[in-house]
Amino acid sequence: GENVEQHPSTLSVQEGDSAVIKCTYSDSASNYFPWYKQELGKGPQLIIDIRSNVGEKKDQRIAVTLNKTAKHFSLHITETQPEDSAVYFCAASMGNRDDKIIFGKGTRLHILP
């Protein structure tokens, strides 16, 4: 079955600097890769997603890149702000199914003042 590995597990960056979180997946048939942000005591909130027919997608300070050959995808946050502090999860579809996604274990991002 699909396996999603995420690293680092914890990341601290100075406010204003960039943060990068990387994920790898095992199923070459996976075609959908969402990223979620989770704040303490809340449910995961979708922040950006990418499908396999696209190599990069950007939304303001957030961008995601996908390398299908290497089976890895990354989240890039530029000009980090204190409100970016949270746990971030990558996920990948189970093969080419659109009804099930498998999550990584998460990255706790700390934005330092």
Partner 1 sequence: DTGVSQDPRHKITKRGQNVTFRCDPISEHNRLYWYRQTLGQGPEFLTYFQNEAQLEKSRLLSDRFSAERPKGSFSTLEIQRTEQGDSAMYLCASSRPSSGNTIYFGEGSWLTVV
Phi, psi (5° rounding) for residue 82? -55, -35
Q: Between the CA atoms of 62, 67, 73 and 76, what dihedral angle is there, to the nearest 10 degrees?
A: -30
Provide, rounded to whole angstroms, the least separation between the CB of residue 89 and partner 1.
5
From residue 3 to residue 42, what is the string marking binding to partner 1 with x (rule CB under 8 A)? -x-x-------------------------x-x-x----xx
Q: How far is CA 104 from the centre of its chain?
A: 9
* Residues engaged in binding partner 1 (CB under 8 A): 4, 6, 32, 34, 36, 41-46, 49, 89, 91, 98-106
